[in-house]
């Protein structure tokens, strides 16, 4: 009989107890996997395609607008290839709780800057550029609501009022469907013309919520950003310019500090499981005191018994933890396909961290019972009731 078969037999000598401990460990690593996947998704917001793009926002807060005149001044900065701008519309369709990411944009420059992210049929692109009330939507949004090109669609805003109708609703014609042009891209939003927005809102005219800058060389990003911010220093609307990736992460950071959440939630779960599994392992070894005494009588060395007991704890941790990670990876994959967030996955780094934690958990919960088994005297073991 091999050591592994002995470990396996001892571990499942009480099947229900072992199953409950495995479920507890599985849940802990399922939580870890999900939160680590979310963190990885946030870390990868922007993707590789954003390396040559900068975003300028109001220094006070990106919810504060800037004069649209800033766009032409930024366009003249050395190292700038192209400039566009956008406003957050706060859109929804029928149900205010179903918010759709909707931007009023300078259409031609916006599509040019995001040419490596947004794929659209040439005729649909031309229709969008020439249709004042035209809008384009990500394919997932269109499919979710059953929209087709040519449909007349009313979109409402939870921020702005349409001065022409006195309501918060604008009528649009869907003239195009956007698809991702790369694996990192995710055009799960709606675009419409800034001119249509500008002529109909009761406030916010001639402003830009944020300005997108495409630089000639990513190596110039720092110098270009400094020059832009210096240009508007001491103005009524000072600016803050950073990479698009940093802007996206700052926007999502409003959801909270995910790293801190991972630390506290997973830490609390592991501490609880450490106590439960450690106590259970100690009880299991104590229950097998006579068995250990018999093994020593038969000539099993102390070191081998130590390894067998510690092996039980390590195997238990892995049998519970690895399926938990697997379920987390499958769940993240399904969510990623649903919301189109490319980085939402269990990265190899986090998977490696999880395996190390499993081994540490197994070692910490098994070391004391294994040490007690190592030091156990044969006479004491055989005489214990």
Residue-by-residue DSSP string for 144-183: HHT--TT-EEEEEESS--BTTTTBSEEEEEEEEEEEESST
Q: Are residues 129 and 214 in the same domain?
A: yes
Q: Are residues 216 and 136 in the same domain?
A: yes
The whole-number pLDDT of residue 280 equals: 73
- Dihedral sign for Cα 316, 320, 323, 329, please: negative
Q: Are residues 85 and 228 in the same domain?
A: yes
Which residues share a beta bridge with 7? Answer: none
More confident residue, 32 or 107: 107
Q: Are residues 24 and 77 in the same domain?
A: no
> Is 98 part of any domain?
yes
The whole-number pLDDT of residue 55 equals: 93
> Is 144 part of any domain?
yes
Instruction: Answer whether 159's CB lies under 8 Å from 89's CB.
Output: yes
- % helix, strand, coil for the chain, step of 5: 55, 20, 25
Q: Are residues 294 and 347 in the same domain?
A: yes
Q: What is the mean pLDDT of residues 180-194?
A: 87
> Is 247 part of any domain?
no
Of 206, 236, 266, the one marking the end of a domain is 236
Q: Are residues 229 and 272 in the same domain?
A: no
Instruction: Answer whether 328's CB lies under 8 Å from 346's CB.
Output: yes
The whole-number pLDDT of residue 77 equals: 94
Number of domains observed in the structure of the chain = 2
Q: Are residues 101 and 130 in the same domain?
A: yes
Q: Are residues 13 and 140 in the same domain?
A: no
- Residue 306 CA: distances (Å) to CA of 292, 317, 364: 10, 17, 14
More confident residue, 140 or 377: 140
Q: Are residues 261 and 168 in the same domain?
A: no
Indicate whether 287 pLDDT > 80. no
Alpha helices of 219-301 — where are they, by DSSP H? Answer: 221-231, 244-252, 258-287, 289-297
Q: Are residues 29 and 121 in the same domain?
A: no
Q: Are residues 186 and 275 in the same domain?
A: no
Count of CB atoms situated within 10 Å of the CB of 21: 24
Residue ranges making up the domain that contains 294? 3-44+256-383
Angle subtended by helix axes 302-339 and 348-375, to nearest 10: 160
Q: What is the mean pLDDT of residues 46-70?
A: 82
Count of CB atoms situated within 10 Å of the CB of 280: 20
Query: H/E element holding 25?
Result: helix 15-43
> Is 168 part of any domain?
yes
Task: Read off the pLDDT band of 292 (50, 70, 90).
Answer: low
Task: Read off the pLDDT band of 284 (50, 70, 90).
Answer: low
> Is 80 part of any domain?
yes
Indicate whether 33 pLDDT > 90. no
> Is 54 part of any domain?
no
Q: Are residues 204 and 262 in the same domain?
A: no
Measured CA to CA, the distance from residue 9 to residue 129 in angstroms comes to 71
Measured CA to CA, the distance from residue 356 to residue 349 in angstroms comes to 11
> Is 51 part of any domain?
no
The whole-number pLDDT of residue 215 equals: 92
> Is 50 part of any domain?
no
Chain mean pLDDT for the chain? 83
Indicate whether 334 pLDDT > 90. no
The whole-number pLDDT of residue 250 equals: 64
Indicate whether 83 pLDDT > 80. yes
Note the pLDDT tens digit of each residue in 211-247: 999 998 888 899 999 999 999 999 999 999 988 877 7
Instruction: Answer whether 340's CB lies under 8 Å from 179's CB.
Output: no
């Amino acid at each position: 009989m091999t050591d592994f078969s002995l470990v396996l037999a001892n571990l499942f000598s009480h099947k229900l107890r072992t199953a409950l401990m495995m479920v507890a460990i599985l849940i802990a690593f399922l939580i870890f996997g999900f939160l680590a996947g979310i963190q990885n998704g946030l870390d990868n917001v922007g993707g590789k395609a954003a390396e040559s793009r900068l975003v300028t926002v109001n220094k006070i807060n990106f919810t504060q607008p800037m004069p649209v005149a800033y766009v032409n001044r930024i366009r003249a900065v050395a190292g700038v290839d192209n400039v566009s701008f956008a406003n957050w519309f706060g859109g929804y369709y029928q149900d205010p709780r179903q918010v759709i990411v909707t931007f009023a944009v300078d259409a031609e420059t916006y599509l040019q800057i995001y040419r490596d992210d947004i794929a659209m049929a040439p005729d649909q692109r031309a229709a969008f550029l020439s249709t004042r009330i035209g809008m384009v939507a990500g394919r997932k949004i269109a499919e979710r609501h059953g929209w087709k090109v040519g449909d007349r669609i009313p979109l409402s805003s939870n921020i702005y009022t349409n001065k022409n109708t006195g309501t918060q609703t604008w009528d649009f014609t869907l003239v195009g469907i956007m698809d991702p042009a790369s694996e990192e891209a995710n055009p799960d939003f709606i675009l419409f013309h800034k001119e249509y927005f500008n002529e109909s809102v009761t406030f916010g005219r001639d402003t830009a919520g944020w300005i997108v800058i495409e630089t000639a060389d990513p190596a110039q990003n720092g110098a270009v950003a400094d020059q832009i911010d210096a240009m508007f220093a001491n103005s009524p609307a000072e600016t803050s310019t950073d990479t698009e990736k940093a802007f996206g992460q700052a926007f999502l950071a409003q959801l909270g500090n995910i790293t801190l959440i991972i630390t506290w939630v997973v830490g609390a779960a592991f501490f609880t499981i450490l106590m439960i599994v450690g106590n259970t392992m100690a009880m299991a070894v104590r229950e097998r005191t006579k068995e250990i005494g018999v093994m020593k009588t038969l000539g099993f060395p102390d070191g081998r018994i130590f390894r067998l007991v510690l092996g039980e704890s390590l195997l238990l941790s892995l049998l519970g933890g690895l399926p938990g990670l697997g379920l987390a990876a499958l769940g993240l994959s399904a969510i990623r396909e649903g919301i189109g967030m490319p980085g939402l996955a269990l990265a190899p780094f986090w998977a490696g961290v999880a395996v190390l934690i499993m081994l540490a958990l197994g070692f910490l919960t098994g070391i004391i019972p294994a040490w007690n088994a190592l030091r156990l005297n044969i006479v004491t073991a055989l005489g214990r009731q």
